[in-house]
Amino acid sequence: MGMPETVWDVKPSGPLRGDIFVRGAKNAVTKHMVAATLGRSASTLRNAPHVGDVDITVDMLRSLGFTVERRDGEITIIPGDSVTPQVSDEFTGRNRIPILLLAPLLHLTGEAFVPLVGGDPIGTRPVNFHVDALRAMGAEVEFTDGGIRAKTKDKRLRGTRINLPYPSVGATETILLAAVLAEGRTVVRGAATEPEVVELALFLQRMGARIELHPDRRIIIEGVDELNGATSRLAGDRLEAFSYLVAGLVTGGEVRVHGCPQDRLVTATTTLARMGAHFEITDEWITASAPDGLDPAAVHTDTHPGFATDWQTPLMVLFTQARGMSVLHETVYENRLVYVPALKRMGCEIEVFDACLGGPACRFHDTNVIHSAVVRGGGKLHGADVTLADVRAGFSAVLAAAVADGTSTLRGVHQIERGYHHPLEQFARLGLDITRRELPE
């Protein structure tokens, strides 16, 4: 017997208006949970979102021997008496957290096995960056049929110099988790500087780690002998905040987003302002409206502080509502445009190319990677039955359905529920006619 499929039915219901309160970032909370395993005492994370990725990570940590307590918006991780060095096969392909557990398990037990990485199908996640860094720090790492096995000679990694070939967020996080308890000093060049990475570094510092953040993408970590638990309140999710701001703009409404600091949305805000959006920004909230309509734009995604790759999926739908032709150039993930066919089925006029359009030549230049899109705005969208490819694409399909003629049926909604805090309720609160139903098996 298969699991019954859950779908959302979306009927356009005019402009979306109202208030949204964003919780901590999906991409931060799970990494903080992993970092908490390094403390000798309990750690507590506040303002945590209720998302599927957290549920998976809770199960994973419990299976390793940690105690995890949850109350609404609060997660406490308590060290276990004995830690199992092996992440179970049942977590194969569920999300990207197992790879980040390699370094903590090496610190705690001297060995580790994690099943192969999962997560959204948006390009080859550079697992080799993680593995190369751990090898440089003295770990023996081998790939097996089911995953990655690692061990250290004397339960201690050693500080070293690491040059990342690309500022990968995940690899930078692995290095932080490895270096904080390593012997001696680690210097990382070419590190990622996304807000979630800095937030993780600050949390580790609260636990007792010694970390220096330098300009020019350099991080210096002095290893310490032990870390203690810490408490932290997670800052609001910039990807979710942007998604809801666009939900207001795309439907001709106005959404007020609370809880995400302005500095996390600098580039996004300016990009939308260039398209004709008007902003009101206070210490508590940000709101965007476009009473005079939207102009087209040429945008290229980049590592922080550039325009985030996760912002481009809602932006693509916004382009369909602008006057004229817009261009998007994706430079971070080679398979990020997998969601375009679903939007085209709803009437979005989008053409994709393997050339670098809308920005300078990127690392996908002269490859066959489809990574640029041209979008014609102003056409009418229509309801359709579509399957969601990944978490951000899922949100963009809801946006398209919100401005389409007729009802849309969205399948694969677990993708959105994995990454957004109560998305169905949030959309309903903004006035969208959206219902959830189980299809008979």
Q: Is the pLDDT assigned to residue 137 strictly greater than 80?
A: yes
Around Cβ 146, how many Cβ atoms within 10 Å? 12
Q: Read off the pLDDT of each residue in 66-91 and give the average, rounded to a whole number.
A: 94
* Alpha-carbon distance values, 10 to 290, 347, 377, 378, 404 (Å): 23, 16, 22, 21, 9
Tally the C-alpha atoms within 13 A of residue 53's C-alpha that lie toward its C-beta. Answer: 28
Rounding to the nearest 10 degrees, give the CA dihedral for residues 33, 39, 43, 45: -30
% pLDDT > 70, the chain: 97
Domain 26-233, CATH homologous superfamily name and number: Enolpyruvate transferase domain (3.65.10.10)
Q: Which residues contact 7 (CB under 8 A, 6 or more apart)?
A: 409, 410, 411, 413, 436, 437, 439
**In this predicted structure, what is the pLDDT of residue 126?**
61
pLDDT-wise least confident of 83-92, 100-109, 195-204, 396-405: 83-92
Q: What residue spans define the domains of the chain?
A: 6-22+236-438, 26-233
Please, which residues have CB within 8 angstroms of residue 363's CB and are 6 or more apart in sequence?
166, 331
Say which residue the tokens 């991409």 belong to. Answer: 27
Q: Would the pLDDT of 6 be above 50?
A: yes
pLDDT in tens, 38-49: 999 999 999 999
With 70 as the cut, is the pLDDT of residue 121 above it? no
Residue 341 in this model has a pLDDT that exceeds 70? yes
The class level of CATH for 6-22+236-438 reads: alpha beta
> 52 falls in which pLDDT band (50, 70, 90)?
confident
Q: Catalytic site residues?
A: 120
Q: CA separation (Å) from 168 to 125, 172, 247, 284?
A: 9, 6, 29, 31
For residues 315 and 347, what is the distance between their CA atoms, to the nearest angstrom?
16
Report CA-CA distances (Å) from 333 to 125, 264, 329, 337: 8, 21, 11, 9
Mean pLDDT of all residues in 325-344: 91
Radius of gyration of the chain (CA): 22
pLDDT per position as a tens digit, 238-293: 999 999 999 999 999 999 999 999 999 999 999 999 999 999 999 999 999 999 99
The arithmetic mean of pLDDT across residues 76-83, rounded, is 94
Tell me, what amino acid is at 312? Q
* pLDDT score, position 2: 59
Q: Which residue's structure tokens are 């990622």?
A: 192
Handedness of CA 255, 406, 408, 122 (dihedral sign): negative
Residue 206 identity? R
Check the CA dihedral 320-321-325-329 and report its sign.
negative
Q: What is the pLDDT of residue 25?
A: 92
Query: Encoding tokens for residue 234?
Result: 């997670």
Q: Which residues pair with 405 in a beta bridge?
A: 382
pLDDT classification of 147: cutoffs 50, 70, 90: confident
How high is the pLDDT of residue 270? Answer: 97
